[in-house]
Amino acid sequence: MNRVVLGLTLLMAACGSDQSPTSPAPEIAQVAGTWNYTARWSRVTGGSCVGDFLMTGVERIDTGSVEVTQVGTSLDATVRGTSPVLQRVPEMACQYLGSVNNASVALTAPACPAFTIPFRCMNGVITEVTLTGGTLNATVKGDVMEGTQAETYNANTAPTTIGGGPFTVTRSFSATRR
Integer angstrom CA distances of residue 20 from 11, 23, 25, 94: 19, 10, 15, 47
Domain with 134 in it:
30-174
- Report yes or no on 4 lying in a domain: no
- Report yes or no on 89 lying in a domain: yes
- Report yes or no on 128 lying in a domain: yes
- Report yes or no on 44 lying in a domain: yes
- Report yes or no on 7 lying in a domain: no
- In the predicted model, residues of the chain with pLDDT beneath 70 are 1-21, 57, 111, 113-115, 158-164
- Report yes or no on 40 lying in a domain: yes
pTM of the predicted model over 0.75: yes
Specify the number of domains making up the chain.
1
Q: Give per-residue pLDDT as tens, 91-122.
A: 778 899 999 999 999 999 976 765 677 877 77
Please list, in sequence order, all residues whose beta carbon lies within 8 angstroms of the beta carbon of residue 3, skipping any fewer than 6 positions away.
none
Burial 75-86 (b: 16+ CB within 10 A, else e): bebebbbebeeb
* Secondary structure class of 22 (helix, strand, coil): coil
Residue 21: the pLDDT is: 61
Residue 70: the pLDDT is: 98
- d(CA 76, CA 74) in angstroms, rounded, equals 7
- d(CA 174, CA 59) in angstroms, rounded, equals 16
Residue 87: the pLDDT is: 73
Residue 24: the pLDDT is: 76
- Report yes or no on 91 lying in a domain: yes
Asked if 47 and 154 touch (Cβ cutoff 8 Å), the reply is: no
- d(CA 73, CA 29) in angstroms, rounded, equals 8
Of 97, 117, 95, 118, the residue nearest 106 (C-alpha) = 97
Residue 8: the pLDDT is: 42
